[in-house]
Amino acid sequence: MHNTPTSVVTIERFIIEQERLHPEATGELSGILYDVALAAKLIASKVRSAGLVDILGATHHENVQGEIQQKLDVVANEIIIKAMDHGGRLCAMASEEEPDIIPIPEGFRCGKYVLLFDPLDGSSNIDVNVPVGTIFSVYRKITRGVRGEMEDMLQPGRRQVAAGYIIYGSSTMLVYTTGQGVHGFTLDPSIGEFLLSHPDIRIPERGRYLSVNDSYEDDWAEPVKQLMHSYRGIGGTRKPLSVRYVGSLVADFHRNLLGGGVFCYPGNHRYPQGKLRLLYEANPLAFVVEQAGGLACDGQQRILDVNPTELHQRSPLFIGSRDEVEAASAMLAPAALSASTA
């Protein structure tokens, strides 16, 4: 396969080409990726018109038909469920927006995969026209029954078979991996197609950017404070990283993936596990970053090796360029990361 940014390759064609590399593939995973791409287009069109709601709709709460306006994260959640539940490829889903497993409705066939997703991450940024994103993660079912169960959801991230995200920014991009590198597609809104724009993304080994909300500094443990000081070059130990923090994980992650950098959301005294969710945020982005040559840890161990115990479990996160995450791991949990990735 010799796809370059100058050849016009739709996401559908790319997925088919990837599938051909696996003669044993049944096409089910490809089908999931098509459906995710469809959901992404539907969500993108809603996000694009978010700023027009107050102009076209009657009030803050009612639209022109007199229906109650739903928050966009709820809309995105419904779009994904409706795009995915009837394809016969999934046996259950889980969403950051829903307390429990989302079953496949009666009457539809169940497949051999589960999908976990954060439908609209960073949604508090929508009101101020700042990029938001969708994050997704796919695992093969491990239980024996027809329907997906909690055990299928609570698998360590290293067992993911696909993961990725969609960023609704100045353009809409879908970035995903199935364990064979990381590939990015940009939505051409004039034809409604995702076109291959970033084949085989590699994250620079050294970072340029540091993404962290340092208003929590007073609550950080001493080693975390030291790590952040070192990233900033305080004390002259290294060239400082430039601070860039959007407050939308997907946007911060995407910048660091392309330009090199590290995103940190440490635990603190008040929230020892931080804010981000292991299954919907940390694991999928960790799979992407490792496939691009980077690393992700929680300060104690590699993210992809954490054994989840709860659907909505939170996790500290240090993710991005290899050198920067190794520095985090060396300062916060000496020797742990290098042992698990060796």
Summarize as ranges the residues that interact with ligand AFP (CB under 6 A). 121-125, 213, 247-249, 275-276
Q: Judged by CB, which is closer to ligand AFP: 249, or 327? A: 249
In the bound state with ligand AFP, the residue whose beta carbon lies nearer, of 250 and 336, is 250
Report, in Å, the least distance between residue 274 CB and ligand AFP: 9
In angstroms, what is the minimal distance from the CB of 279 to ligand AFP?
A: 13
* Strand pairing category for 295-297 and 317-320: antiparallel
Residue whose CB is less far from ligand AFP, 51 or 247: 247
**Least separation in angstroms between CB 170 and ligand AFP:** 18
Mention every residue, 6+ apart, whose C-beta is less than 8 A from residue 182: 175, 176, 200, 201, 257, 288, 291, 292
Closest separation between CB of residue 90 and ligand AFP, Å? 24
Q: Smallest distance from the beta carbon of 197 to ligand AFP, in angstroms? A: 23
Residue 302 buriedness (CB in 10 A; 0-12 / 13-18 / 19+) = buried
Q: Which is nearer to ligand AFP, 124 or 300 (CB)?
A: 124
Sequence-ordered strand ranges (E) for 242-325: 242-243, 261-265, 295-297, 317-320
- 2 Cβ partners below 8 Å, 6+ apart? none
**Minimal distance in Å, beta carbon 281 to ligand AFP?**
7
Closer to ligand AFP by CB, 248 or 321: give it.
Answer: 248
What span, in angstroms and rounded, lies between the C-alpha atoms of 78 and 66? Answer: 20
**Which of 141, 173, 170 is CA-nearest to residue 32?**
141
Residue whose CB is less far from ligand AFP, 176 or 263? 263
Q: In terms of DSSP bridges, do strands 193-198 and 242-243 run parallel, antiparallel, or are they unpaired?
A: unpaired
